Copies of this chain bind each other. A is one copy, B any other.
Amino acid sequence: MKILVSNDDGIYSQGIYALVQSLKEIGDVTVVAPAKEQSAVGHAITMQIPLRVTKTFKNGEFFGYAVNGTPADCVKIGIRNIMQQPPDLMVSGINHGSNTAINIIYSGTVSAAREAAIMDVPSIAISVTNHEASNFDFAAKVAKTLALETAGKDLPLGTLLNVNVPDIPEEDIAGIILTRQGKSKWDDIYEQRVDPYGKDYYWLKGNLLEVDKDIETDQAAIRNNYVSVSPIHFDLTDYDTFNKMKTWNIEGLLNGKKF
């Protein structure tokens, strides 16, 4: 099994190293990851500047390719130019911090896996629920297990698995559960400060407002010590509203009346 690995914390992060060590036990792993941290970059791609690809080493051995771009860039160039053919699987992570509920929208980790899904490559995004996580061993095992599971099932083209692992001792994990994206959001606050030259600047902070109670949502699952596994896709159409809007008579807006 050929596996492409990327992330958004950068090629030198602990999480990607643990992931690669684990996936090497089941496949031939190619690492293409951002040269620098790219958290919260969403699904950005680089078009206005060229990309550079640099070989990186860990403990004296070749580890992977660093790219001066975003997670989505890494997946695109990894598949098109470095591997030169689609891998059997793409895995993104292990992210330092959860990617549940609204965070899926902002996440570079998820966008890397989503870019693979766009390219018809089955993919998994995996995160540990703590920015300060220091032990990725259990999450790396989960990634390996789900990689094997995904290879044996037919995940539809264009769908990826978004996996979140509580940062607690393995023996305290309650189980693993199929989930959907939760509805928890941030109460964003920009703290206003004054710089040494007397000018204002603003720094984003905030708390996640936990509204998810149903254990079948990713956010409630991790809060209850479950590993969450959510299938997500990139069709953003709101079909319920699409159907309701048929009564809006959008087509009538152009009939000389309003324009």
Residues of A bordering B, CB below 8 Å = 37, 39-48, 50-53, 72-73, 76-77, 80-81, 102, 104-106, 111, 114, 118, 141-142, 145-146, 148-149, 153, 155-156, 159, 170, 173, 175-178, 180-181, 185, 188-190, 192-193, 199-204, 227, 229-242, 245-246, 248, 250-251, 253-254, 258-259
Contacts and interface: CB of A to CB of B under 8 A. Distances in A.
Given A156-B240, A176-B251, 20 more contacts: A40-B45, A42-B43, A42-B44, A42-B72, A51-B203, A52-B199, A53-B200, A53-B202, A72-B106, A77-B190, A80-B188, A80-B190, A102-B234, A149-B250, A156-B241, A159-B238, A178-B245, A229-B250, A230-B237, A231-B241
Given A118-B102, A237-B230, A250-B229, A76 B204 contact: yes
A24 to B, nearest CB: 18
A181 B250 contact: no
B39 A42 contact: no
18 contacts: A51-B201, A73-B204, A76-B188, A81-B190, A105-B234, A142-B259, A145-B253, A145-B259, A153-B248, A155-B241, A156-B240, A156-B241, A173-B254, A175-B254, A176-B251, A177-B250, A232-B236, A236-B236
Nearest to A51: B202
B227 A232 contact: no
A36 to B, nearest CB: 10
Contacts of A241: 155-156, 159, 231, 233
B76 A42 contact: no
A246 to B, nearest CB: 7
Contacts of A239: 180
B204 A46 contact: yes
Nearest to A142: B259
Nearest to A246: B178
A81 B190 CA distance: 7
Contacts of A72: 42, 106
A177 B251 contact: yes
Contacts of A231: 237-238, 241-242, 245
Contact of A238 (B105, B201, B232): B232
